[in-house]
Structure 1
Amino acid sequence: MIREDRFLISRKPYAVDLSSLRLREDTETGWFDGRMTAVWFRRKQRVTVACIGTLWDHQKPAPADALEFLARHDDGRYGGNCLGRWDGTGYWGAEVPDVQEQHLAILRPMLANFPAIPPGYDGWWTFQGGAR
Structure 2
Amino acid sequence: MIHEDRFLISCRPYAIDLTSLHNTEHKSTVNAVWFRRKQGVTAACLGTLWDIQRPAPADAGEFLTRHDDGRYGGDCDGRWDGENYWGAQRPNVIEEHLTLLRPMLANYPAIPPGYDGWWRF
Give the TM-score range, shorter chain. Answer: over 0.9
Shift, 1:64, TM fit: 1.7
Shift, 1:18, TM fit: 0.7
Shift, 1:14, TM fit: 0.2
User: Structure 1, residues 2-36: CA drift from partner, whole Å, max 9, x if none?
Assistant: 1100000000000011111100124xxxxxx1011
Aligned residues: 121
CA distance in 1 between partners of 2:31 and 2:16 (Å): 6
| Residue identity matched to 1:70 | L
Corresponding residue number in structure 2 for 1:81:
75
CA distance in 2 between partners of 1:102 and 1:37 (Å): 14
Corresponding residue number in structure 2 for 1:119:
113
User: Structure 1, residues 55-108: CA drift from partner, whole Å, max 9, x if none?
Assistant: 000001111211000010000000000010000011000001111011100000
After alignment, is 17-26 or 39-48 more displaced? Answer: 17-26
Shift, 1:39, TM fit: 0.3
Q: Highest CA radius of gyration, 1 or 2?
A: 1
The percentage of aligned residue pairs carrying the same residue is: 72
CA distance in 1 between partners of 2:30 and 2:56 (Å): 14
Which runs of 5 or more structure 1 residues have no equivalent in the other structure?
Answer: 27-32, 128-132
Question: SS in structure 2 opposite 1:98?
Answer: helix
CA distance in 1 between partners of 2:80 and 2:108 (Å): 12
Corresponding residue number in structure 1 for 2:31:
37
Corresponding residue number in structure 2 for 1:11:
11
CA distance in 2 between partners of 1:95 and 1:70 (Å): 30
Which runs of 5 or more structure 2 residues have no equivalent in the other structure?
Answer: none
Question: Would you say 1:46 and 2:40 are equivalent positions?
Answer: yes
Question: SS in structure 1 opposite 2:97?
Answer: helix
TM-score (norm 2): 0.98
TM-score (norm 1): 0.90
| Residue identity matched to 1:25 | E
Corresponding residue number in structure 2 for 1:108:
102
CA-based RMSD: 0.7
